[in-house]
Amino acid sequence: MSTDSDFVLYHYTPSKGAAIVFVVLFILMIVVYAVQTFNAARKASKIARYNSFEPSDDKIDDKTDDKTDDKSVIFENNDSKKKFKVLSTVCAFIPFFIGFIMEFIGYIGRVLSSSDPTKIAPYIIQSLLLLVAPALIAATIYMVFGRLLNAMRCESLMLISARFGTTFFVVGDVFSFFLQAAGGGLMSKKGSTKTGSNLITAGLIVQIVFFGFFIINEIRFSISVKKKCSFYSGISRKWFIVNATLLLSSVLILVRSIVRVVEFIQGFDGFIISHEYFIYVFDAVPMLLVIIAFSVGSFFGNVFDVIAECQYSTFSDSA
């Protein structure tokens, strides 16, 4: 078993080329998906404004019974309520983008480490940011799924109380995040690397447990939504695209976290941490595929579209 005295920053010289490739790819995908999210939110906001004026029956003048061209019907403005729902969904993506910004900064750290693997600062940057970034991305996955359930009125499909469903997963994710962050901080201090490694392992295990339970909820929703959603036949299959994206992303992060747990259990002289290709095959690639999945899926359906469909559907109103 390795000890603090065995700890070295790298067992290899980090590849500058590989790190640069992922820096570029992450920056590119962040920009692309940010534009897609902005456009989707703007479209949803327009739909909300269009639907925020509803005729007030008790304010319509009795003269409207006459066959005249008078169209001065009074409308009630519910715009603030609709806008808030769009804004809250936009806010759900903030951790997502912060997480991926941390990803590309992490690989910048690896670019710097390639020039001098003995420098501690670049090592800490890449080690800590690449470790905790997925926890932030997971928070968005949980929140988007919660909004999907709410829009389709399927909260009862959660295996725990619908009222606390999203909160339950987000709190677990935050707990996992702080455990990993604290562990990452301790690993940079001499004499505390083993304690830091144990905290990171604990944080990753918490993340795996919550993700596993979350995936079960996603699968249950996929199977039962047709029976539970009263206006299922009145909406498109965009909800399926959103849920499939969330499910795929969850599996990718779950696999990545499992490999990370094995890495820290093996210790500082373990096989995984001693071979650079693991960080790319089981961390960089899965996380890149997550944002690619969100981007590609957005062309066919996004959570803003689903909420708009459900909220303003005639079927939904009559349900």
174-215 tens-digit pLDDT: 999 999 999 988 887 777 888 999 999 999 999 999 999 999
Grade residue 3 by pLDDT with cuts at 50, 70 and 90: low
Cβ 43 vs Cβ 36: under 8 Å: no
Counting the structural domains of the chain, the total is: 1
Contacts 24+ apart (CB under 8 A), 64-72: none
> Does residue 161 lie within any of the structural domains?
yes
SS3 label, residue 126: helix
Q: What integer best gives the mean pLDDT of the chain?
A: 86
The predicted pLDDT at position 45 comes to 84
> Does residue 22 lie within any of the structural domains?
yes
> Does residue 163 lie within any of the structural domains?
yes
Helices and strands (H and E) in the chain: how many: 11, 2
> Does residue 60 lie within any of the structural domains?
no
Grade residue 68 by pLDDT with cuts at 50, 70 and 90: very low
> Does residue 63 lie within any of the structural domains?
no
Structure-block tokens of residue 53 = 């004026």
Structure-block tokens of residue 213 = 């339970």
Full domain range(s) for residue 271: 4-55+74-318
Structure-block tokens of residue 106 = 């992490």
Grade residue 5 by pLDDT with cuts at 50, 70 and 90: low
Q: Pseudo-torsion of CA 20, 293, 273, 209, nearest 10°?
A: 150
> Does residue 62 lie within any of the structural domains?
no
> Does residue 68 lie within any of the structural domains?
no
108-135 residue pLDDT tens? 999 999 999 999 999 999 999 999 999 9
DSSP letter at 54 equals: E
- Tell me what the mean pLDDT of segment 237-245 comes to: 96
Q: Estimate to the nearest angstrom the gap between the alpha carbon of 129 and the chain centroid.
A: 16
Q: Which whole-number Å values give the CA distances from 184 to 29, 123, 218, in the listed order?
A: 27, 11, 31
Question: In the chain, what is the straight-line distance between the N-terminal and C-terminal CA atoms, in Å?
Answer: 61
pTM over 0.95: no
> Does residue 290 lie within any of the structural domains?
yes
Residues 249 and 297: their CA atoms lie apart, in Å, by: 11
